[in-house]
Each structure stands twice: as structure tokens, then as C-alpha cells.
């Protein structure tokens, strides 16, 4: 019996897993790679929870064929990964030499994906700024320099890989770069006004300057692609933004307003300029002239500089007015409802609970506001205390299975019942990996990584997703490869 069509995904729907270069590659000083800001930052005392760094990570620079074999075994249609800027241009700048070994690595990687029929979704920047650019001119703080250097790096990538790569993401989660790197100081380069944390930085001004510069760098890379590459290469390019659903804590008007204010600061900061051509008025109200303006000239480049909406989302926050935290738009976040119950299952990450209804609501909100096709470029769950469990127990990741059962149902409902145009879904992540300031304590993978042996073991969540997509994709014979085998 054939299932009714509204229980299926649209034709050509893409799915696969997501990763990022610094979180998986390791080999930080191999084959001419330059240093990135995360190499040094992770090695400073106290910056990662377990004191560990990205020198080895999941060793994917060496085990890249094994990773692709795993993707093929899962039967994915696509794979989202990022390029390491400092592998391609070790010193990063527009007049600095290109590293042929870096180009060769990604060329081989892309070719191997295509050989398996897997479509590459490529992120240019997932937080690993070349260290030399930070030393030369403070990286993202320097508008004139960084915009030109990022655009040249983007051009090098379009030139080298664009004959085969048709899906480009400029920046991953600029909010995290600006707020966590230059506001809270918990991510590289670790700048903050808090002098116990950082000798340098000004959290009241720098994040907003960095945010403006990120938007400009993104927009100029897109302009370069559209003018000089897209006519022949015919790909798509856009930005990917983090943002969780915001729900009023209760039905008091001030809390209803607070939920919108949270969305303005978390999403609208970047999405409103890029898609609509202006900053959210509420941000101007709170920040005054600390929010740097765009010139008329700049706005022309910024407005409509993304072909689609790239959405990374993990959770929902209950929002209450009267918060102190400027980075959250002066909104308080909680997972505890007024009646004392929890919104959903708590993850290992303090900021994450499972609330699939929020995923559906966010898809609807973004589609209504920005009116573009949506690619869900990240979505995932860290199981509480997973890294303390023996492997046999960790691979039975029931909370993660439940999470994906919820979000896939919401995905289907948003598409088929609400009419949202969603084109892709990339669970985070293919592998357990270097979880930034958490080190290796927090695991997000659908594949368990034994960090002693680097052996990979599919978790129940991988099996769930493979089966779910097998059942919900239309017009394809069942992928012969999607039978999951354990390593010998
Ligand atoms: C993604 O960010 C990243 O793209 C990915 O590299 C990472 O591994 C994955 O999620 C899992 O964490 O104000 O300090 O409480 C997720 C988005 C946004 C989640 C900020 C944590 C709370 C920051 N993140 N959020 S804080």
C-alpha cells in the first residue's frame, strides 16, 4: 500500500548530516595549514571544559574516506561541511599565498562525495579565522580589511570548487561569532569587558561592530559569486543563522512583546538587514548608536544577499520581559513554565531542551517573514551525561531518537500542513566532535566516536533518521547502501 502523499517529503528534498572543519579535522599543523584563532584559544587554560583542544578532534583530515564511506552507508543525499580558511590560505589575507595542499584536500574530498552521489553543501566560515588576521588587524573588528580578505578567500573557493559545488553558505551563525567571541568572550578570540576573562575587549560596542562587519563580508562574497561565478556555475549562495523559537512565558502583553524582542536580537539582527534591508527597530531602541549603521552604498549590497534562509535551530525559550542581558534583547529565558513543569527533556547542554512544536512554529515564522525557501542546516541534541557512559550504553541514545522523532514530524507538518517551503534538513552532527568551549564533554553525534581508537559506531539516532528518510522520500528506490554495519 502506498502512503498518502502528505505523509511524504517533496521531490528533490535534500537531507544529510552536518559538521564543521575545526570540530572534526584535527591535523592542525599538517600539509601547510596555518593557525586559526581556535587553535590557540582552545589551548589557553580554562577555555575548554575538559582542557582539550582541536589538535586531533575526530581525525577527519586523515580519515576523510572513512567519513564519506559512513555517509554513503547512511544513504544520505547530501553532506554539509566547512572549509578551513587557514588550510586554503594559511595567513588568510588577500595578498597571502594559496596552499595547494589545502586545495587538493578539498578537491579530493568533493570528488569522493560526488562519486557516492552525495551533494556537497559547503560553509566557507565556521568560526576558524586565520590567526594571522587577528594579529594583523583584529580580524572581524576591522571592516576595511576583513571584508576584502574574506571576499578574496571566497573567490578562491568558488574558483577552485565551484564547478562541482552548487550550494554555498558564507557564514555559520554570525550571532555566535559576535556575541560569544567579542561579547561573552567564551569563544575565540575571547574578547570581553570582563577582565577576569580577557585582558582586552569592550562587550558594549565590539559585538555590534563585528556583527555589521560579518554582514558586509557575507554580502560582498555573495556579490562576487553572483557577478563573476554564478552565471557559469549556476549555484546558490546564502548565509546560515542560529535562532531558537521564542515563546511568551505567559499571556501578559509584556512577555508577548519580550518573545518578539528575543527574536529581533537573536535572528532579526542579521536576517532583517540581509533579507529586508534594515535593522529591527527594537535593536536601535536598545543600543542607540552603538549599533553601527550601514551606508546607502553598503545597504544595496546587503539587501537580498541570500538566495534562501539557512536555519540552525535547537530549542525553544520561554521569554519574560525585564531581563538584564543585552545580548538576549533584555529578555529572560527559562525552560520552567509558570506551573513549574519543564518545557521538555533536558539535554546535556544547559541551553537545550526538546520542544518539537517550537521547531514547527519557527519554520512558519521565518517563512512568513522572509518569504524564501528554507534549508535547515543544523538541528540536534546532546544526551545528558553521554560522555560518562560506556559506549554500549551511549549508542542507545533514546533522548536523541525522541528529539529527532519530534523534529521530523514537525518538519513534515510544516511542509505538508502549513505550506512552508523547506528544501533540506541537516541533523547536527555526523559524528561526536569538538564541541567548542565544552571540549569533548558534550556529544552531538549520531555516530559515537571512541576518542582512544577513533573508531566510529552508529547510534540508534542514526538508524532512526536513515529509516525515517527512507520512508519519507518520494520517487527513489530504497538506497541499497542504507544498511548500517558496526565496525569489526
Ligand atoms: C551550533 O551552534 C554550532 O553551529 C555548532 O558548531 C555546534 O557544535 C552546535 O551548534 C552544537 O552546540 O549565550 O552562551 O548561553 C548552536 C547555537 C547558540 C547554541 C548560542 C548555544 C547559547 C549561547 N548556539 N547558544 S550562551
In the prediction, which pLDDT does 40 show? Answer: 98
Pocket test for ligand 1, best of 24, 124, 314 (most atoms within 8 A of CB): 314
Model confidence band, residue 480 (pLDDT cutoffs 50, 70, 90): very low
Model confidence band, residue 481 (pLDDT cutoffs 50, 70, 90): low
For residue 310, the SS3 value is strand
Distance 419 CA to ligand 1 centre (A): 28
Supply the residue whose CA is at minimum distance from atom 14 of ligand 1.
Answer: 180
Residue showing cell 528533490:
12
Q: Is 128 in the pocket of ligand 1 (CB under 6 A)?
A: no
The set of cell numbers assigned to 206 is 565590539
Span 202-255, pLDDT tens digits: 999 999 999 999 999 999 999 999 999 999 999 999 999 999 999 999 999 999
Model confidence band, residue 6 (pLDDT cutoffs 50, 70, 90): confident
In the prediction, which pLDDT does 4 show? Answer: 56
Q: Which atom of ligand 1 sits closest to the CA of residue 444? A: 11
Catalytic residues: 378
Distance 188 CA to ligand 1 centre (A): 13
Q: Is 264 in the pocket of ligand 1 (CB under 6 A)?
A: no
Q: Is 444 in the pocket of ligand 1 (CB under 6 A)?
A: yes
Say yes or no to pLDDT of 118 above 70.
yes
Is the ipTM, as predicted for this complex, more than 0.90? yes
Q: Is 187 in the pocket of ligand 1 (CB under 6 A)?
A: no
Supply the residue whose CA is at minimum distance from atom 12 of ligand 1.
Answer: 435
The set of cell numbers assigned to 100 is 595547494
Q: CA 472 from chain center: how many Å?
A: 25
Pocket test for ligand 1, best of 323, 330, 351, 434 (most atoms within 8 A of CB): 351
In the prediction, which pLDDT does 475 show? Answer: 73
Span 166-179, pLDDT tens digits: 999 999 999 999 99
> 4 or 275: which carries more pLDDT confidence?
275
The set of cell numbers assigned to 386 is 553521554
Supply the residue whose CA is at minimum distance from atom 6 of ligand 1.
Answer: 20
Span 347-386, pLDDT tens digits: 999 999 999 999 999 999 999 999 999 999 999 999 999 9
- 392's CB contacts (< 8 A; 6+ apart) are none
Pocket test for ligand 1, best of 242, 266, 362, 377 (most atoms within 8 A of CB): 242
> 472 or 475: which carries more pLDDT confidence?
472
> Is residue 314 a contact partner of residue 352, using CB atoms and an 8 Å limit?
yes
Say yes or no to pLDDT of 432 above 80.
yes
Q: Is 317 in the pocket of ligand 1 (CB under 6 A)?
A: no
Q: Is 244 in the pocket of ligand 1 (CB under 6 A)?
A: no
Q: In what order do the strands lie in the sheet with 245-248?
A: 245-248, 316-321, 331-334
Pocket test for ligand 1, best of 82, 378, 380 (most atoms within 8 A of CB): 378
Q: Is 307 in the pocket of ligand 1 (CB under 6 A)?
A: no
Which of 402, 318, 300, 297 shows the shortest CA–CA distance to 361? 318
Q: Which atom of ligand 1 sits closest to the CA of residue 186? A: 14
DSSP string, 221-254: HHHHHHHHTHHHH--EEEEEEE--EEEESSS-HH
In the prediction, which pLDDT does 483 show? Answer: 61
Q: Is 172 in the pocket of ligand 1 (CB under 6 A)?
A: yes
Say yes or no to pLDDT of 1 above 50.
no
pTM: predicted TM-score of the whole model, two decimal places: 0.96
Q: Which atom of ligand 1 sits closest to the CA of residue 184? A: 14
Please state, in angstroms and as integers, the Cα–Cα distance from residue 33 to each residue in 90, 147, 175, 222, 291, following that order.
Answer: 5, 22, 26, 25, 35
Q: Which atom of ligand 1 sits closest to the CA of residue 349? A: 12
Amino acid at each position: 500500500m502506498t502512503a498518502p502523499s502528505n505523509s511524504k517529503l517533496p521531490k528533490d528534498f535534500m537531507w544529510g548530516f552536518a559538521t564543521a572543519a575545526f570540530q572534526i579535522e584535527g591535523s592542525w599543523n599538517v600539509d601547510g595549514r596555518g593557525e586559526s584563532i581556535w587553535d590557540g584559544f582552545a589551548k589557553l587554560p580554562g577555555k575548554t571544559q575538559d582542557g582539550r583542544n582541536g589538535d586531533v578532534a575526530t581525525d577527519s583530515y586523515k580519515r576523510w574516506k572513512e567519513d564519506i564511506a559512513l555517509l554513503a552507508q547512511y544513504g544520505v543525499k547530501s553532506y554539509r561541511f566547512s572549509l578551513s580558511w587557514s588550510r586554503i590560505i594559511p595567513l588568510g589575507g588577500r595578498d597571502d599565498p594559496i596552499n595547494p595542499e589545502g586545495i587538493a584536500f578539498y578537491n579530493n574530498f568533493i570528488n569522493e562525495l560526488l562519486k557516492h552521489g552525495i551533494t556537497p553543501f559547503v560553509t566557507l566560515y565556521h568560526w576558524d579565522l586565520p590567526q594571522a588576521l587577528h594579529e594583523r588587524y583584529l580580524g572581524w573588528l576591522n571592516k576595511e580589511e576583513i571584508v576584502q580578505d574574506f571576499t578574496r578567500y571566497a573567490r578562491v573557493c568558488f574558483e577552485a570548487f565551484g564547478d562541482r559545488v552548487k550550494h554555498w553558505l558564507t557564514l555559520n551563525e554570525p550571532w555566535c561569532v559576535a556575541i560569544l567571541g567579542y561579547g561573552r568572550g567564551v569563544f575565540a578570540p575571547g574578547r570581553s569587558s570582563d577582565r577576569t576573562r580577557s585582558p582586552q575587549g569592550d562587550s558594549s560596542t565590539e559585538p555590534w561592530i563585528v556583527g555589521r562587519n560579518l554582514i558586509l563580508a557575507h554580502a560582498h562574497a555573495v556579490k562576487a559569486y553572483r557577478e563573476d561565478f554564478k552565471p557559469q556555475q549556476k549555484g546558490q549562495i546564502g548565509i546560515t543563522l542560529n535562532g531558537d523559537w521564542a515563546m511568551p512565558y505567559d499571556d501578559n502583553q509584556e512577555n508577548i512583546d519580550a518573545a518578539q524582542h528575543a527574536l529581533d536580537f537573536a535572528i532579526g539582527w542579521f536576517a532583517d538587514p540581509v533579507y529586508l534591508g534594515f535593522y529591527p527597530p527594537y535593536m536601535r531602541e536598545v543600543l542607540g548608536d552603538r549599533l553601527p549603521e550601514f551606508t546607502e552604498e553598503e545597504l544595496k549590497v546587503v539587501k537580498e544577499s541570500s538566495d534562501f534562509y539557512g536555519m540552525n535551530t535547537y530549542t525553544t525559550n520561554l521569554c519574560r520581559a525585564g531581563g538584564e542581558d543585552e545580548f538576549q534583547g533584555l529578555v529572560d529565558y527559562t525552560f520552567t513554565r509558570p506551573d513549574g513543569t519543564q518545557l521538555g527533556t533536558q539535554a546535556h547542554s544547559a541551553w537545550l531542551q526538546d520542544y518539537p512544536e517550537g521547531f514547527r512554529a519557527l519554520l512558519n515564522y521565518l517563512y512568513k517573514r522572509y518569504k524564501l525557501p528554507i534549508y535547515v542546516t543544523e538541528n540536534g541534541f546532546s544526551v545528558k551525561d553521554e560522555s560518562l557512559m560506556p559506549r554500549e550504553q551511549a549508542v542507545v541514545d533514546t533522548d536523541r531518537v525522541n528529539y529527532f522523532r519530534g523534529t521530523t514530524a514537525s518538519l513534515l507538518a510544516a511542509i505538508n500542513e502549513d505550506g512552508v517551503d523547506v528544501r533540506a534538513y541537516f541533523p547536527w552532527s555526523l559524528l561526536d566532535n569538538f564541541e567548542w568551549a565544552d571540549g569533548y564533554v558534550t556529544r552531538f553525534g549520531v555516530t559515537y566516536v571512541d576518542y582512544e581508537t577513533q573508531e566510529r559506531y552508529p547510534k540508534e539516532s542514526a538508524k532512526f533518521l536513515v529509516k525515517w528518510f527512507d520512508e519519507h522520500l518520494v520517487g527513489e528506490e530504497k538506497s541499497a547502501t542504507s544498511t548500517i554495519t558496526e565496525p569489526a
